[in-house]
Chain A
Amino acid sequence: GQNIDQPTEMTATEGAIVQINCTYQTSGFNGLFWYQQHAGEAPTFLSYNVLDGLEEKGRFSSFLSRSKGYSYLLLKELQMKDSASYLCAVRDSNYQLIWGAGTKLIIKP
């Protein structure tokens, strides 16, 4: 079966750095997405990885290792507004998007 694993919840301090991991087992691979979802709101697109390596976008970076079925989202200089759920999603060989359950990130002052 297809499976995406990410931690349920993480806590970090304002101004610090946090890394949210995602491991996946899917039928084929056509890219990995990270989304941010604030409580009561729809998800917003953060990043896309299809080749191995690091993609940097401001305070957020996303890393992919296809051989390991592994990705992480790195958030630097954490701000209180970064408190949200972070969803990892993989597009499989049929271009279906398989969603992880999300990681709830709690930022403390």
Chain B
Amino acid sequence: GAVVSQHPSRVICKSGTSVKIECRSLDFQATTMFWYRQFPKQSLMLMATSNEGSKATYEQGVEKDKFLINHASLTLSTLTVTSAHPEDSSFYICSAVAVRGTGNQPQHFGDGTRLSIL
């Protein structure tokens, strides 16, 4: 159980393109989803926390106008990287927490999206 699907797994596109990444919880409802980015050989960096039906909370230094997050339902959150540039190339990973309770629920991760901007 607790499967999170992330799509696409890999994107290669030209500079200036906007890229949309989807994160779905397949067998549970997720009130909260998280978006991370990870550079090679570095740890996860939280970009934003997405709550269903409300605006995302962005971490300091993350541009909300560049990284648009929509959490329209209890099973779907999307991250759109607008006008992507080579410095946005990274591994983007989403995670979700199940609705039931708050204490011991781990974050379940999608498989990640490797974004390469040429």
Contacts and interface: CB of A to CB of B under 8 A. Distances in A.
Contact of B107 (A30, A40, A45): A45
A105 B103 CA distance: 29
B54 interface: no
B43 A87 contact: yes
Contacts of B42: 101
A38 to B, nearest CB: 11
Interface residues of B, number: 20
Interface of B: 6, 34, 42-44, 46, 49, 91, 93, 102-104, 106-112, 114
Contact of A31 (B93, B103, B114): B103
B44 A43 contact: yes
B56 to A, nearest CB: 14
28 contacts: A31-B103, A31-B104, A33-B106, A33-B107, A35-B109, A40-B91, A40-B114, A41-B111, A41-B112, A42-B93, A42-B109, A43-B93, A43-B109, A44-B109, A45-B107, A45-B108, A48-B104, A50-B103, A50-B104, A87-B43, A87-B44, A96-B49, A97-B34, A97-B46, A97-B107, A99-B43, A99-B44, A101-B42
Contacts of A45: 106-109
Interface residues of A, number: 20
Contacts of A87: 43-44
A33 B110 CA distance: 17
Contacts, number: 42
Interface string A9-52: 00000000000000000000011010100001111110010100
A100 B43 contact: yes
B104 A42 contact: no
Contacts of A95: 102
A102 B112 contact: no
